[in-house]
Amino acid sequence: MFPSKANKLILRLGLLFKRWHGDVGMGKRSTGSGSSRLVLGIETSCDDTGAAVVSETGAILGESLHSQKEVHLRTGGIVPIVAQQLHREHIERVVQEALERSGLDPRQLSAVATTVKPGLGLSLGVGLEFSRSFVRRHRTPFIPIHHMEAHALTVRLLQPVSFPFLVLLVSGGHSLLAVARSVDDFLLLGHTLDEAPGETLDKVARRLSLAKHPRCSTLSGGQGIELLAQDGDRLRFPFKTPMGQTYDCCFSFAGLRTQVNMTIEKKEAEEGIERGTLLSCVNDLAAATQHAVACHLAKRTHRAILFCKENRLLPSLEPTLVLSGGVASNQYIRKALGIIAEATGLRLLCPPAKFCTDNGVMIAWNGVERLKEGKGILSPDADVSYEPKAPLGIDLTSRVKAAAIRVPSIRMKIS
């Protein structure tokens, strides 16, 4: 998928020698017959400013990413106005870098694809405003992108995966289970009722003061918990897996966080230390929290697989479960989902960590998928607004709940 230096050079030369035809219609703007169409993707839905140029064949020609992680770690969470300001400061450079690395001129782009939903309004606004002025200036078709659809389809850039497939998306802002049936057709089986798993891990990490831990100071909450959990004993704190008596595929993490917070308070009292000081049992708490999150995700996914089987929503040949989103970088969670996939006969696919977290490549690729299907391609003058809240697909959560599928118990022995 990644072009070798030689291939990249050939592609660039090809583009140079092809005559520029100007505007040749929506989605058909091209550098000449036979050449791969090219999409610039722009991502600013949360705290990453990302841009990338991806070809129709899936070659990543140039990319750039600016992460705001360090700033938000210092402030103890994302402050939307700060995120907006940082996007404003970096977006021009990030897009310029992606284009320069691709060796392309903006006029050679077939479309610009930009995340417009869901996300932080102030952050989305920066990407959208920049993109609108870019496409008007260069007369490029515009493709608005749903951030979660982009996460779900990234895997298809990396390897052949046909529709339909089941996808579990877990990040700092979302957790959902859906069947992807085409580029713009999703069935929603479950979503979080309160907070997302990444948010829970980030909040637990803050409560544990992991920023003061020498091994975690530069890591996101989820990364810190994963690292410390490697040396922890998860059995020391047997947190209850959430929603054991609710037989649907929705998620809830707020109750788990309360359990963890109460234990932290108790341990602080026992050790006679103040809030904000590192506990001696921090590794065990990290391991137990991570295990409870993994088990909850695994159980709901198990039920979603059984629901899909009962309703013939997945193909009998090579049914696939895709795991993506920032939290999917977690190896322990991957293993938990691996156990479920194996027990139910599904193939589990997880993009590498760099494609699980937010980036411009996934947005550009979603643009490519839409361009190929001719779906959602707008004129450069189209009036588009951003949507902080945007559900994914057709909501089947009530049907899933009504089915009340009991999940056989599976031993979660994760090394």
State the residues that interact with ligand KG4 by CB under 6 A: 46, 171-173, 198, 201-202, 220-223, 226, 325-327, 329-330, 357-358
We find the least distance from the C-beta atom of residue 181 to ligand KG4, in angstroms, to be: 23
Which of helix, strand or coil describes residue 17? Answer: helix
Judged by beta carbon, residue 35 or residue 67, the one nearer ligand KG4 is: 67
Taking CB under 5 A as the binding criterion, the range among 14-22, 132-140, 165-173, 391-399 that sits at the site for Zn ion is 165-173
The verdict on 43 binding Zn ion (CB under 5 A) reads no
- In the list Zn ion, ligand KG4, none, the entry touching 223 (Cβ below 5 to 8 angstroms by class) is ligand KG4
- In the list ligand KG4, Zn ion, none, the entry touching 27 (Cβ below 5 to 8 angstroms by class) is none
The verdict on 369 binding Zn ion (CB under 5 A) reads no
- In the list ligand KG4, Zn ion, none, the entry touching 249 (Cβ below 5 to 8 angstroms by class) is none
Contacts of 346 (CB under 8 A, 6+ apart): 166, 305, 314, 319, 320, 321, 340
We find the least distance from the C-beta atom of residue 356 to ligand KG4, in angstroms, to be: 7
We find the least distance from the C-beta atom of residue 367 to ligand KG4, in angstroms, to be: 18
Q: In what order do the strands lie in the sheet with 394-395?
A: 347-349, 320-324, 165-170, 175-182, 185-191, 394-395
Judged by beta carbon, residue 226 or residue 358, the one nearer Zn ion is: 358
Residues 179/165, Cβ–Cβ less than 8 Å: yes
Q: Helix H segments across 272-376?
A: 282-310, 331-344, 353-356, 360-373
The verdict on 68 binding Zn ion (CB under 5 A) reads no
Judged by beta carbon, residue 69 or residue 309, the one nearer ligand KG4 is: 69
Judged by beta carbon, residue 97 or residue 358, the one nearer Zn ion is: 358
- In the list Zn ion, ligand KG4, none, the entry touching 167 (Cβ below 5 to 8 angstroms by class) is none
Determine if the peptide bond prior to 164 is cis (ω within 30°): yes
Judged by beta carbon, residue 64 or residue 171, the one nearer Zn ion is: 171
We find the least distance from the C-beta atom of residue 359 to ligand KG4, in angstroms, to be: 8
User: What whole-number distance in Å separates Cα of residue 222 and Cα of residue 198?
Assistant: 6
- In the list Zn ion, ligand KG4, none, the entry touching 222 (Cβ below 5 to 8 angstroms by class) is ligand KG4
We find the least distance from the C-beta atom of residue 49 to ligand KG4, in angstroms, to be: 12
Judged by beta carbon, residue 202 or residue 248, the one nearer ligand KG4 is: 202
Judged by beta carbon, residue 36 or residue 115, the one nearer Zn ion is: 115
- In the list ligand KG4, Zn ion, none, the entry touching 330 (Cβ below 5 to 8 angstroms by class) is ligand KG4
The verdict on 358 binding Zn ion (CB under 5 A) reads yes
| Residue type at position 105 | D
- In the list ligand KG4, Zn ion, none, the entry touching 51 (Cβ below 5 to 8 angstroms by class) is none
Residue 127 main-chain phi, psi, to 5 deg? -65, -40
User: What whole-number distance in Å separates Cα of residue 222 and Cα of residue 286?
Assistant: 10
Contacts of 54 (CB under 8 A, 6+ apart): 38, 39, 41, 60, 61, 157, 361, 364, 365, 367, 368
Alpha-carbon dihedral 112, 115, 120, 124, rounded to 10 degrees? 10
The verdict on 171 binding Zn ion (CB under 5 A) reads yes
User: What whole-number distance in Å separates Cα of residue 170 and Cα of residue 159?
Assistant: 20
Residue 101, CA atoms < 13 Å, CB-side half-sphere: 19
Judged by beta carbon, residue 154 or residue 171, the one nearer Zn ion is: 171
Residue 26: name the closest of 188, 139, 108 by CA: 139
